[in-house]
Amino acid sequence: MTGATLVAGNGARAFRAKRDIVLPTVIFLVFALLPVFTALTAEQYLLDSATRIMVFAVAAVALDLLVGYCGLISFGHAAFIGLGAYAVGILSAEGVGDALVALPVAVAVSMLFAWITGIVCLRTKGVYFIMITLAFGQMVYFVATSLAPYGGDNGLTIAARNTIAGLALLKSDRSFYYFTLLCLLATYLLCRALIVSRFGRVLRGARENATRMATIGFTVRRFQLVAYVIAGGLGGVSGFLLGNSTEFVSPEYMSWQRSGELIVMVILGGVGTLDGAIIGSAVYLFAEEWLSRTFEAWQAIFGPLLVLVVLFARGGLIGLTAQLRRRFGHA
């Protein structure tokens, strides 16, 4: 190994270490200061858009834990969002509107579903895992459409946002925005802590070579099941936030198209980065909103753009940044 190679390797590691600190700090600082900007400019739609981005970013970060660090491509992750949202909606319809009840129930229901289905799904690999998660996701979708007492196909309107210990702390858009930001920050820190722990090292090792990890004594499927259940619970948090944000619950929240959108967000930002899941969510949702206003068939434009990102930006937008740095940094 030459000295130039060593220097380049050390520089790359230093850049990644700096990025791991600077990038998330910038992301959460921007989110924290955005309400101040909207208050000064009266651009309320930015606050609404940012809230929506953070709601789906919670689910995207959880999905990145599976896709990027476990190598498990789940095409049914939206089912957890739907379960969390329906927990809020059904409890509200039954007269229970406190977040201290609704949030734990949303998480518990999603984790229970993840545990039951994960036991089956993790017996498969590759495309079979993708298809069986899709099948379970569609099963929950059709169950939701058949819930006639709770709206069925038409969905369910929530009378009001959840209270906290009986206090309407989430009633205003600004307070709900900061609550959503707190949930996103907690999700990010939890996933980051898991990744750098021994648990995360086992997951990454199993992603690279499951047989080798099993040979040295790790029960790979058990570790993957725990990660799957955690990701499901975080999806339930996203569903809780989505139900309270829109004050409406629909079976469409758990459709396979929504699961596909979450995968696109993760790929767009950069698989296996966590930061990329947040950035990918922001770029995807802003692009969707802008293109849908400008072009009727906006998917026909966004699709080729995504293909270009996948082909020429290995590692998504995070990877593209690193590529540009290497190219122009050594020019």
pLDDT per residue over 58-101, tens digit each?
999 999 999 999 999 999 999 999 999 999 999 999 999 999 99
With 90 as the cut, is the pLDDT of residue 3 above it? Answer: no
Cβ pair 266, 156 in contact under 8 A? no
Average per-residue pLDDT in the chain?
Answer: 88
> What's the pLDDT at 329?
59
Q: Which residues contact 41 (CB under 8 A, 6 or more apart)?
A: none
CATH of the domain at 173: 1.10.3470
pLDDT, tens only, 194-236: 999 999 999 999 998 888 888 888 889 999 999 999 999 999 9
Nearest to 139 by CA among 123, 151, 121: 121
Cβ pair 35, 174 in contact under 8 A? yes
> What's the pLDDT at 180?
97
Quote the CA–CA distance of 55 and 44 in Å, as a whole number: 17
Question: What's the Cα-to-Cα distance from 213 to each of 11, 117, 193, rounded to whole Å?
Answer: 30, 23, 21
Backbone angles phi, psi at 300, to 5 degrees: -70, -20
With 60 as the cut, is the pLDDT of residue 1 above it? Answer: no
- Looking at the chain, the whole-number percentage of residues with pLDDT higher than 70 is 91
Single-letter amino acid code for the residue at 128: Y
Nearest to 86 by CA among 99, 105, 71, 67: 105
Residue 8: pLDDT band by 50, 70, 90 thresholds? very low
Residue 131: pLDDT band by 50, 70, 90 thresholds? very high
Q: Using H for helix, E for strand and C for coil, what is the string for 250-296?
A: CHHHHCHHHHHHHHHHHHHHCCCCCHHHHHHHHHHHHHHHHHHHHCC
Are β-strands 248-249 and 156-157 bridged in parallel, bridged antiparallel, or unpaired? antiparallel
Single-letter amino acid code for the residue at 24: P
With 60 as the cut, is the pLDDT of residue 5 above it? Answer: no
Average pLDDT over residues 296-320: 77
Domains: count for the chain: 1
Half-sphere exposure of residue 215: CA atoms within 13 angstroms, side-chain side: 5
Quote the CA–CA distance of 251 and 92 in Å, as a whole number: 17
Residue 189 belongs to domain spanning: 3-329
> What's the pLDDT at 245?
94
Would you list the DSSP string of 145-186? Answer: HT-GGGTGGG-EE-SSPPBBTTB-TT-SHHHHHHHHHHHHHH
Structure tokens at 9: 């390797």
Question: How many of the other CB atoms lie within 10 Å of CB of 271?
Answer: 22
